[in-house]
Amino acid sequence: MRAPIKYVLTAQVFRSIISLVLLVGMSSIEAEPLPFEACPTRAFIIQKPGSVPKTYGVDMATGSYSTFSEDMGTVNGYNGVGFSEHDSFLYGWDYQRNQVSRTGTDFQITDIGSFNKDTQSEAAGNFFVGDVAINENAWYGYRKNHGMFKVPLDTGASYLMSYIPGSIDGASHTIMDMAFHPSDGYIYAMTSSTNSHLIQIDPATGLSSNLGLVLTSPNKMTFGAQFFDVNGNMYISDNHTGIIYKVNIASLSAEAFSYGPSSTSNDGARCANADIPVASNVDFGDAPDSYGTLMASNGARHETSSALYLGDLVDNESDAHLPLLSDDLSDGSDDEDGISFPTGFEVGEQAMINAAVSGTSGSGYLNAWFDWNANGSFEADERAISAQAISNGNNSIAFTVPVWAVAGPSWARFRISSTADIIAKGGVADGEVEDYPVVVTTTGVAMTYYPNASSYTAVAYEDLFPLEGDFDMNDVIMHLRFIHYVKSGMIHSIRIKARLVAMGAGFHNGFAIQIPGLLRSNIHEASISWTIDGVTQSTSPLETGQTNAVFIFADDLWHYATADEGEGCKYFRTQAGCGSSAVIEWDMTVPFVNSVSASAMPGVPFDPFIFSAPGYSHGQIVTDLIGSDPGRGLEIHLKNKAPTDKFDNRLLGAGHDISNPATGSYFQNADGQPWALEVPDTWSYPLERQSLNETYGEFMGFAGDISGETNSTWYLNANGPVYVNKN
Amino acid sequence: MNSTLTQWLAVITVICIAVQINACVYSGQEDETDDSSANSTSTNMDSSSRKALIDPFNTLESTYKLAIDINLATQERAFLSICNNFSLADSNNTDSNTIGLEATSSLKMTYTVDFDACLVRAPLIHGQYVQELKVANHDDVFIVVVWYYDGSDPLYQIWRKDEESQYQQLVLD
């Protein structure tokens, strides 16, 4: 007989058995979902393009979205979803379980436990309209013709869904979603229709009020996803188009805010107390904000990438930089480089633009607007290019300037995107926006520029007249650009752009431009339009009491600039180590009463001059000569330019000045040196108290040759330290 | 110390002081509160004996005149641009020593033109445009672009300043 086999339960065997038991046990228990971060800024969009619900995370500012989950663990619907600020989970109606279920970071629809319903809740069936309250931890569901229903979510593992008594009386509206306001306690919903109304619902009673009509469309709108931001702005997503509208519930107005994903089945959830941040990869336009440029104005904005853009460059900003402080000028990277204008824009005539497209996607759609009536906004009938398909490389596009367009300066906006049909404002998930200043002319009008359409000539002054100064020629420096509008050889208007560049002067000086030989009476004064730093001026710049046309840009330039910040900085952009980013610009358009022959028109830069600001002293010698401050009577002009009618002739030939009107000699000393000089460039001028001769050694060779041929580009070759102007 | 030497030193000192005062008078002051240079009661200083360094009739203009005469044999609507910022398409090389308008090459050249950097933007009237412009001395190369509205290729011509001539003209016909 054989001996019995003994089975020995060793520790190793015991551990193996326990591990196996645990493994089997754990596989039968569902993993608990984890909550989302507290109050995320992205919106959750749940769509069911096929049979399986998917979750997207939408950047509200641009409408760009990413897929959070391709499969939520159900083949049925998940709707009426809301974000709970109480525990940072999503709660929505689970079509598979016929109850409210929870979703966490795994995006799996999870059973919350024992779920019971009262009689009316059982009869209501499934829900697709719902949200989680802000002031209480409860999910609310709405069913048309049934009423409002509530599920408290803080009752542990057993939940009861109950009908809110009397709420059926407020359940007559066709709504696809609803959302709790972040702070006023009400629920709001936009109806689905061609005429969409805003409904306000009291969650306590379920009774509703129709606040009014907000949106109309020729096509039915279905707003399956509706939510709020922390500022009480409501956002609604149209299932058909994916357009997210921003609704102002106080003014009952709405506008397209961004372009998100579209789907026949759409539901949304968002933390109502989250703001709408701008991501780090967003491009804004540059036009004045009346066109919708800043984020606060729902400005045009695009999420940027290498996939699709205009030109060679695209940059990102947290918000738009409005003119005159565009980042294109300040950061050395001008990304307005994708559109060029080979023709002008003549009223009633065809025009052309070139669009250079770049990116890995290879193609996109171009939309463009021109403010043809120059009213500061892009209207629907000013959309010159509509959803034009374009591809990588240069694309020439023709269109017609409408006959009702207004001649003059204006703005144009160009947007490229993979979304075809967009408006002039709002966020888009890809592409770029570029804004350009443009000029509309009447037919046959030519524009000539000095020095050119994007550059300036500099006029530099010494202001100690009639005494010599240190000849650093930076007491006042202005940049000027001149545009002539010419038709058939006749100039009918001019435009002057001026910038204050530097002031190394203790005296107060004004700035003006005289046009010698152009009579004041030939200026159509009532039609002069001018701005200072983009602000339209209501007063006339045309000086009274003058024979010639004299335009006063500033009575005192120190009203517009301040001394640079920094220790020892006394002046405006003339001292080493001192500087300012201020841009001070004038833009003046002057129509004539009668056109002037181009051959008879005085040459540019006309006669720009500075003058002693009224009410200020201009040196003891002047006071001794005149017996008082000079008032308006002291002017400093370019060499051999005669002063205006306002000049006090007692100053001619005084001090170091050898002016002699009989010979046409003005504003020069015995060495022939001027008190004012034009340099046809955005010039790097001498530093404070550094003479022009020392800084630009070639100048005297140039000045000594009356033909102008010696050292003709002396102003480009500094041999001393200069102030490099970046503005 | 030798009295003679002392006297000479005193004279030299006085001379130095006088020179400094004179320099102060003619250099002027930038600060309006320091009018020391203007305390002189002389209001018409006699400087007629000083030799002028700059001719009194030299207005120091760093520019030249450019006479433009465009006369194309076309009645088609066209738009003229004369610009100074351009490059060969797919190339930044615009080096050439040709004076005036360059002869049209048998190889079609296309250019990338910055239409924001133009001196002239004008519709051609029956193919014609005439104008005289003032141009900065350093602007000595331009591209002339004639753009047609019928979809045909634009016309490009490069113009260069003739440094040997005082009369500059841009003629295209």
Among A352, A453, A681, the residue with its CB nearest the CB of B149 is A352
Distance CA B69, CA B66 (A): 10
- The yes-or-no verdict on residue A141 having pLDDT over 70 is yes
Tell me: the pLDDT tens digits for A538-574? Answer: 999 999 999 999 999 999 999 999 998 888 899 999 9
Residue A641 near residue A609, CB atoms below 8 Å:
yes
Distance CA B106, CA A12 (A): 91
Distance CA B86, CA B93 (A): 10
Residue A201 near residue A186, CB atoms below 8 Å:
yes
Tell me: the pLDDT tens digits for A659-704? Answer: 999 999 999 999 999 999 999 999 999 999 999 999 999 999 999 9
Among B28, B121, B137, the residue with its CB nearest the CB of A468 is B28
Contact assignment for B50 to A350 by CB distance below 8 Å: no
**Residues in chain B within 8 Å Cβ distance of A688:** 30
If you count them, how many residues does chain A have? 727
Tell me A503's DSSP state.
B
Which segment of A152-166, A507-521, B33-47 scores lowest on mean pLDDT?
B33-47
Pairing of strands A607-612, A635-636: antiparallel
- The yes-or-no verdict on residue B98 having pLDDT over 80 is no
Among B51, B59, B81, the residue with its CB nearest the CB of A640 is B59
Residue A609 near residue A637, CB atoms below 8 Å:
yes
State residue A47's pLDDT score. 85
- The yes-or-no verdict on residue A720 having pLDDT over 70 is yes
Beta carbon pairs, A and B, within 8 Å: 209
Nearest to A679 by CA among A617, A644, A646, A722: A722
Distance CA B101, CA B80 (A): 15
Type of residue numbered B71: N
- The yes-or-no verdict on residue B31 having pLDDT over 90 is no
Nearest to A179 by CA among A203, A205, A196: A203
* Structure token digits, residue A458: 């500099």
User: Per-residue confidence at B30, pLDDT binned at 50, 70, 90?
Assistant: very low
3-state secondary structure of A327: helix
Greater confidence, B90 or B22? Answer: B90
Nearest-neighbour CA in chain A from B20: distance (Å): 15
User: Per-residue confidence at A657, pLDDT binned at 50, 70, 90?
Assistant: very high
Tell me: the pLDDT tens digits for A518-538? Answer: 999 999 999 999 999 989 999
User: Per-residue confidence at A72, pLDDT binned at 50, 70, 90?
Assistant: confident
Mean pLDDT calculated for residue range A283-309 = 95
State residue A317's pLDDT score. 82
Among A352, A448, A656, the residue with its CB nearest the CB of B47 is A656
The CA radius of gyration of chain B, in Å to the nearest whole number, is 30
Report how far apart the first and last C-alpha atoms of chain A are (Å, whole number): 110
CB of B167 within 8 Å of any CB in chain A? no
Residue B30 near residue A469, CB atoms below 8 Å:
yes
CB of B114 within 8 Å of any CB in chain A? yes
Nearest to A410 by CA among A550, A291, A275: A291
Give me the residue spans of the domains in chain A.
43-269, 282-444, 447-723
- How many CB atoms lie under 10 A from the CB of residue B37? 20
**Residues in chain B within 8 Å Cβ distance of A663:** 56
CA A168 distance to own-chain centroid:
47
User: Per-residue confidence at A324, pLDDT binned at 50, 70, 90?
Assistant: low
State residue A345's pLDDT score. 97
Cα distances from A140 to residues A90, A128, A239, A580, in angstroms, run 13, 11, 22, 57
Return the bridge partners of A543, or none.
none
Contact assignment for B84 to A598 by CB distance below 8 Å: no
Residue A106 near residue A118, CB atoms below 8 Å:
no
Q: Which residue has the tokens 């393009």?
A: A49
Tell me A714's DSSP state.
G
* Mean pLDDT of all residues belonging to chain A: 91
- How many CB atoms lie under 10 A from the CB of residue A10? 9
- The yes-or-no verdict on residue A153 having pLDDT over 80 is yes
- The yes-or-no verdict on residue A339 having pLDDT over 90 is yes
CB of B57 within 8 Å of any CB in chain A? yes
Residue A358 near residue A310, CB atoms below 8 Å:
yes
Q: Burial letters for B7-28: b for 16+ Cβ neighbours within 10 Å, e otherwise?
A: eeeeeeeeeeeeeeeeeebebb
- The yes-or-no verdict on residue B97 having pLDDT over 70 is no
Largest CA distance in chain A: 151
3-state secondary structure of A683: coil
State residue A70's pLDDT score. 87
Return the bridge partners of A588, or none.
A496, A530
Type of residue numbered A465: F
| A600 Cβ contact list (under 8 Å, min separation 6) | A517
Mean pLDDT calculated for residue range A709-725 = 92
The whole model's pTM is what? Answer: 0.84
User: Per-residue confidence at B91, pLDDT binned at 50, 70, 90?
Assistant: very low
State the number of CA atoms in the 13 A half-sphere of B165 facing the CB: 13
Alpha helices in A627-721, H assignment, sequence order: 692-695, 699-703
Distance CA A477, CA A500 (A): 6
Sheet holding A99-103, edge to edge: A78-83, A90-94, A99-103, A109-110
3-state secondary structure of B110: coil
| A615 Cβ contact list (under 8 Å, min separation 6) | A629, A631
Which segment of A672-686, B88-102, B116-130 scores lowest on mean pLDDT?
B88-102
Distance CA A152, CA A117 (A): 12
Tell me: the pLDDT tens digits for B36-51? Answer: 233 333 344 444 445 5
- The yes-or-no verdict on residue A301 having pLDDT over 90 is yes
* Structure token digits, residue A229: 């931001």
Tell me: the pLDDT tens digits for A25-38? Answer: 444 445 678 999 99
Cα distances from B47 to residues A218, A622, A671, in angstroms, run 85, 19, 9
Among A443, A506, A680, the residue with its CB nearest the CB of B31 is A506
Residue A199 near residue A213, CB atoms below 8 Å:
no
State residue A330's pLDDT score. 55
If you count them, how many residues does chain B have? 173
Mean pLDDT calculated for residue range A273-285 = 93
Which segment of A240-254, A321-335, A482-496 scores lowest on mean pLDDT?
A321-335
Type of residue numbered A476: V
Return the bridge partners of A55, or none.
A46, A69
Distance CA A475, CA A467 (A): 13
CATH class of this structure's domain A282-444: mainly beta
State residue A619's pLDDT score. 93
- The yes-or-no verdict on residue B3 having pLDDT over 90 is no
Mean pLDDT calculated for residue range A264-280 = 90
- The yes-or-no verdict on residue A48 having pLDDT over 70 is yes
User: Per-residue confidence at A584, pLDDT binned at 50, 70, 90?
Assistant: very high
State residue A260's pLDDT score. 86
* Structure token digits, residue A567: 């220790």
- The yes-or-no verdict on residue A91 having pLDDT over 70 is yes
Contact assignment for B120 to A672 by CB distance below 8 Å: no
- The yes-or-no verdict on residue B24 having pLDDT over 70 is no
CATH topology of domain A43-269: Neuraminidase (2.120.10)
- The yes-or-no verdict on residue A286 having pLDDT over 80 is yes
Q: What is the DSSP string of A150-168?
A: EEES-STTEEEEEE-TTGG
Pairing of strands A114-117, A393-400: unpaired
Mean pLDDT calculated for residue range A133-153 = 97
State residue A579's pLDDT score. 87
Query: Where are the strands (E) in chain B, listed by range?
Result: 63-71, 78-83, 86-88, 100-101, 111-113, 118-124, 128-136, 141-148, 155-160, 168-172
Report how far apart the first and last C-alpha atoms of chain B are (Å, whole number): 89
Greater confidence, A523 or B30? Answer: A523
State residue A2's pLDDT score. 41
**Residues in chain B within 8 Å Cβ distance of A708:** 58, 61-62, 64, 137
